[in-house]
Structure 1
Amino acid sequence: MNKKTSSFLWNFRQSNLNICPFGFSSIRTMMKGDPLELHKSKITYQNSILKNCLFFDSLQKPQSSVRFFCQGTLVFQLEGNKIQKRRLNTLTSTSFGKLLHPRRLSFDSQCFLVSDTTPQLAVDELKKMMVPTENDLSPKEKQLDFVKQKHLINHCNSMSDVLDIFSKFSMFSSCTYFITMWKIAKNMSEDQKRFERQLLYEHPAFNQLCYQVMKEAKIVKLQQLMFTLYALIKIGIPQNTYLVQVLLRVVQERINECDETCLSVLSRTLEAMEESKNVDALRAGLRLLVDKQIWTIEHIFTLQTMMKCIGKDAPYPLKKKIEVKALKELDKFSPVNSQHMFGALAALNHRSLLLLNKCSKMVAANIHGCPFWMLMSILQSCRDLQYQNLNLFTAIADYVTTTFDMWKMKQVLSLLNVFEALRFRHIGLMDLFLKKVLDISQSLNQKDILCILRIYASLNHVNECENQQFLQVITSALNTYLPKISSSNLLKAMYWFCVLKHFPQELFNQLFQENIINELLIPGAESEKTEYMLHRVNACLELDNISVLKSTAVTLKESSSAPSPSNVEIESVLLNLLEDKRLFLKNVQLPHNYFVDFELRMDSKRSQVFPVSEADEFMAEPDIFRVALLCVPRSAFCFGTTHPRGGLGMKLRHLKALGFHVILVNTGEIKRLDMNSAMTFLKNKIFSQGAFSTTPGFSA
């Protein structure tokens, strides 16, 4: 009796498992909401067995779907061995047949929807490709299933068409349908994808396909499962849906089965997903797997995809291991591999100078034909990694200059914007763009004008022939936006004009209105920067000899800004060189909140330095000059040159107006030298051959 009872219970349990392959707990979750959680069920079943019966009974009931077609669409319907043709009117609904078990879905009749313009040849081909139901297939014919299915799917024009085929031919793997949907959707616009997704959710076979994908997740090939998950994310299925989360969990369980292709697809999938517990767990698992399999990876693109996925938070030993692997594969790098390596290193936040230098050399040598988005990606990655390479930047700028006519103005402006962030000034490209601006100034919007003005002011770029015309055109274009320009943008524009030594009266008059000044001086996050710019604009009005505008200057309180940090190393070198600390002053404050690091008094032949107190007695003599020694960082110059950038250029101009001769000392350059070399370097700067020019100037 006990044996019969146990046998009965075992059979009963097995029958329940056959009915519910996911188990009762999983069905309970699925029945409370659909796989995408797009519709909430109004009924919650308490009894799991009753629920299973109701669930599968509901699958047997006919369901209908309303599908709309334009007038003139033809329906080709198979009746017997002949295809009957009839025309549909606008807003025609087609009823679908029974939805059976997920593996046995079929229609009562087989229907293909073809436009009126479809040639007869395509109709004949469809007839030949009609696939019989699974029961009618011989073993040899079943081997051709995949080939026939692949050809049949080529005739789908939408994701809903794929679901129609799924409903007809249920013998194909469910994963293939989502992969096919992604292949169709990737050529659509965002609006088209949104509309197609809505039709997808409303299709009666959609939930069935979702259930079938979850059912097969543990038994299909991992590579196919990875592509399915990637397809779901790229189609736009919400990440927090039950379907996606189930697949994520299954991938976690099977992650040790990953080969190189699976690693690549999983990396691309996680890169496109938002952070969540399951995504973070998978990313952590991927890092462990990459650490284990790094030496077996053969393809460079797989390595780069994984670098982008594992991200900035990856442990440093893993980043170093990836760098070593990439260096070992350098001889296999193609030009495209070199281009993508910049973005991969930026995503990894790992600044490998050896890799970057090698890739820069290859990119520069094969720059022609490189698309705009790749140029932007390379430059933005260089900015993120704080990497500068003069040959690379010059090659990109030369390429854009020689092919200037094939680029849109927005594209060139974007490139110049990144070049400005990298402190790179390409004279040829900037002059060419300046000339183009003169022709299209009427089509520039406010954002473009401010961007152009900031770039040219920051890099302190002046075109000797057309600079004045350029500034006047930009001023005229900006004047049209004066009624609606914000106070902060007005101040920035005026500051950039001052850097370029251009003083448009209309902008000054608007800026120095009492209400605008009061608005700018309200304490806030950028109050210190605003105060600095106002002081510099005021200094320009007084020191640049603009008699017409001097009366418009406003009275500002003294700035609380302190001088730059004391340059102890340079002070020590200067003291060893001059052997008397009375021969120089340090941290000298001047009008308009200017500071000078060191001040010297010298004769016109630059051969003798006078003590400051003694020189004061002879300041009336024309051969005694005030010399300002400015210690500036490398970032104060345009990259690869001694050309001063905007703020420094304005300061040099104003120090000249205050009667100083300026000597610039690059602090980064002198700090790399020992004491004797530093003394020689500074001696050459101060006691250079020849005399000062008759008008004050500066030496770099």
Structure 2
Amino acid sequence: MNNKVGSFLWNLRQFNTSVPTSRTVRLYSMGFCRPKIVYSHWNLRNLPLNDFDNRVHSSIRHLFQDAFVFKSRDDAFQTKGMSTVAVLRVDRLLCPGQLSFDTKHSLVSVATSDSGLKKVKFDHEVSNEDVLTKKTKPLPISYRKLSQECNSLSDVLDTFSKAPTFPSSNYFSAMWIIAKRMSDDQKHFEKQLMFNHPAFNQLCEHMMREAKIMHCDHLLFSLHAIVKLGIPQNTLLVQSLLRVIQERINECDERCLSVLSTVLEAMEPCKNVHVLREGLRILVDQQVWKIERVFTLQTMMKSIGKDAPIAFKRKLEMKALRELDRFSVLNSQRMFEALAAMNHRSVILLNECSKMVIANIHGCPFKIMVNILQSCKDLRYHNLDLFKGVADYVATTFDIWTLKQVLFLLILFENLGFRPIGLLDLFMKSVIEKSEFLNMKNIVSILHVYSSLNHVYKCQNKEFLEVMASALTGCLHHISSENLLNAVLSFCLMNYFPLAPVNQLLQKDIISELLTSDFEVRMDTNRSQVLPFSDMDVTSTTDIQRVAVLCVSRSTYCLDSSHPRGFLAMKVRHLNVMGFHVILVNNWEMEKLEMENAVTFLKTKIYSVEALPTANVNLQSTY
């Protein structure tokens, strides 16, 4: 045996300069693997000869996992429990994770068993010229053909169970394409059938078995389909694929990195996802200037996360600025969401993209407009021209939108502090004409938008308020106390007081439910000691003061001042009337502090004996 191994290794050294850069093999193993695989960029010098034997065994064992169990005996391999003799004659190298045989030799396996198994022969003989000149033949069945021929997820699994073919990724990709064509209810039903199908577990096993030898793009597309199909992330299948991708991440080209970015964006945080995200950051950081497609760049920007280093974010920003001349309309629309996903506010980039969005606003899909406005809110980016362009477009094409869609946009505009007058007038008129649209959720949202923006349409304002009050009255039997309070508050801000909702709100049980001991702190008059919060303590202690701590945002003040706006001023006024000493804490100041410093800051605010500026704010203008 030693002489044969020595002779074998000597032959390998003799052929180390004549090994071609590409090798092919056709495999027909147990009916599940029937590809023609081409591997390139292979060099004998890259593989230590002393580890060759172990790598050969490892590769074969991996490919035939759960199909054959090999054990060595002299020059042959024997399958356990099948009395099968396989004679392997090679004089070229078999790479780890790859399969490549000399074209003049073959892998022959003759199997016999007590039950009378027929002989099986694996043979492959082609000329060197054929190997070097022939291109990869198409797979036995592609995912596109599968998705066209099958009408359900179960149909794909039935096809797999009849004649499994390599790679298994085609079946998962086909199922995802089919699922995208279904309604939500049908998709839910089909997924349950998929999980219960007898061939589903077999397909998952094949996928795990083939993960280390299939092409990197097939591996990533299959993971993408698996995640989108709703296969739980904590399953062995998903976690195994994540581990394999970690090992093979250096094989990813630009297209693969784009797919990986999309997959990671859709996955929940876990250890393997975190490791992959870090690996992706490293690769993108190294290759950012080589990225050719703007779409790929934006996908990577969305996936790197908000906690990425600021220097890395700026590098991506600079790359995007360099590609501005190549931006399509869709690229400009997507850039808002990409910047928001990594929490990077690039005013220059946002301004340039806004110009293109405004110029091409007609035909802009609803989802894109929502993403743009939401991203502007997240990035604290206020562009009046952009907001006005979106609002005017929706007002001009008002008839093609549903009231629900328009309301959603109005809520986003209210969050941004923008008042689209024409769109608000049109929506008010439609609500009066189509009052059946009003349910409890819509009523509260509409009242909040119009009261917050203080919008009055003189021609129909009274009629609008009456319709809204009537709709709210019809919901009183199932409305929550909190929603009732918010609705009545909105009416009051619009100087309208519907009798039935107000009487409902003033019921003793409603008030008891709304009054809680939380927004409150009880302490002695010297403000040096916090007192227990109980009725007994309240009745027995006379020198106490009630303190209300309000954590407020910058938008509750007038621009560039500490003057409170209407809603905050009203809340402070009411708390003062109820006997509270009001302390205002600015949340943007708190966010900058560590926990220890934040506690110290709050203690200073609460226990300070000095008169606070907020307590002496002149609120007369708000009456």
State TM-score, norm by structure 1: 0.58
**In 1, are the aligned partners of 2:373 and 2:412 still within 8 Å (CA)?**
yes
CA change 1:144–1:277 in 2 (3 A) is: closer
Hey, what does 1:343 align to over in structure 2? 337
**In 2, are the aligned partners of 1:379 and 1:418 still within 8 Å (CA)?**
yes
Q: Find out whether 1:483 has 2:524 as its counterpart.
A: no
Partner SS state of residue 482, structure 1? coil
Pick the aligned partner of 1:21 from 62, 74, 77. 62
**In 1, are the aligned partners of 2:147 and 2:178 still within 8 Å (CA)?**
no
**In 2, are the aligned partners of 1:636 and 1:645 still within 8 Å (CA)?**
no
CA change 1:478–1:221 in 2 (3 A) is: same
Hey, what does 2:238 align to over in structure 1? 244
Measure the CA separation in 2 of the matches of 1:148 and 1:349: 40
Q: Find out whether 1:214 has 2:208 as its counterpart.
A: yes
Question: Which amino acid is the alignment partner of residue 559 of structure 2?
Answer: R
Partner SS state of residue 149, structure 2? coil
Question: Which amino acid is the alignment partner of residue 62 of structure 2?
Answer: P
Encode CA deviations 1:143-175: one digit per residue, 9 max, x unaligned: 355578854663122233333333444454332
Encode CA deviations 1:519-567: one digit per residue, 9 max, x unaligned: 332313x579xxxxxxxxxxxxxxxxxxxxxxxxxxxx998569999xx
Q: Find out whether 1:162 has 2:156 as its counterpart.
A: yes
Give the alignment of 1:252-651 within 5 angstroms. Answer: 252-524=246-518, 526=519, 560=547, 633-634=558-559, 647=567
Measure the CA separation in 1 of the matches of 2:288 and 2:145: 38
Q: CA deviation at 1:342?
A: 0.7
Q: CA deviation at 1:254?
A: 1.1
Q: How high is the sequence identity, in percent, across the aligned residues?
A: 54
Measure the CA separation in 2 of the matches of 1:207 and 1:4: 43
Encode CA deviations 1:410-450: one digit per residue, 9 max, x unaligned: 11111101111111001111111111111122431111111
Question: Which amino acid is the alignment partner of residue 634 of structure 1?
Answer: L
**In 2, are the aligned partners of 1:304 and 1:340 still within 8 Å (CA)?**
yes
Q: Find out whether 1:193 has 2:187 as its counterpart.
A: yes
Measure the CA separation in 2 of the matches of 1:199 and 1:486: 39
Residue ranges of structure 2 left out of the alignment (5+ in a row): 8-50, 70-78, 85-108, 110-120, 522-543, 575-619
CA change 1:168–1:6 in 2 (3 A) is: farther
Measure the CA separation in 1 of the matches of 2:424 and 2:55: 77
Question: Which amino acid is the alignment partner of residue 383 of structure 1?
Answer: K
Partner SS state of residue 379, structure 1? helix
Question: Which amino acid is the alignment partner of residue 512 of structure 1?
Answer: L
Question: Which amino acid is the alignment partner of residue 647 of structure 1?
Answer: F
**In 2, are the aligned partners of 1:423 and 1:635 still within 8 Å (CA)?**
no
**In 2, are the aligned partners of 1:636 and 1:648 still within 8 Å (CA)?**
no
Measure the CA separation in 1 of the matches of 2:186 and 2:342: 34
Question: Which amino acid is the alignment partner of residue 272 of structure 2?
Answer: N
What is the aligned length?
Answer: 458
Higher relative contact order (CA 8 A, sep 6+): 1
State TM-score, norm by structure 2: 0.65
Rg (Cα) greater in structure: 1
Partner SS state of residue 634, structure 1? coil
**In 2, are the aligned partners of 1:490 and 1:507 still within 8 Å (CA)?**
yes
CA change 1:412–1:194 in 2 (3 A) is: closer
Pick the aligned partner of 2:228 from 220, 229, 234. 234
Encode CA deviations 1:89-133: one digit per residue, 9 max, x unaligned: xxxxxxxxxxxx9xxxxxxxxxxxxxxxxxxxxxxxxxxxxxxx9
Q: CA deviation at 1:14?
A: 9.2
Partner SS state of residue 510, structure 1? helix
Measure the CA separation in 2 of the matches of 1:564 and 1:215: 55
Measure the CA separation in 1 of the matches of 2:273 and 2:409: 35
Measure the CA separation in 2 of the matches of 1:324 and 1:56: 65
Question: Which amino acid is the alignment partner of residue 506 of structure 1?
Answer: A
Measure the CA separation in 1 of the matches of 2:457 and 2:451: 12
Pairwise CA RMSD of aligned residues? Answer: 4.3
Q: CA deviation at 1:319?
A: 0.5
Hey, what does 1:573 align to over in structure 2? none
**In 2, are the aligned partners of 1:521 and 1:527 still within 8 Å (CA)?**
no
CA change 1:295–1:449 in 2 (3 A) is: same
CA change 1:404–1:523 in 2 (3 A) is: same
**In 1, are the aligned partners of 2:336 and 2:350 still within 8 Å (CA)?**
yes
Give the alignment of 1:91-170 within 5 angstroms. Answer: 143=137, 145=139, 151=145, 154-170=148-164
Encode CA deviations 1:506-530: one digit per residue, 9 max, x unaligned: 3333333333333332313x579xx
CA change 1:268–1:361 in 2 (3 A) is: same
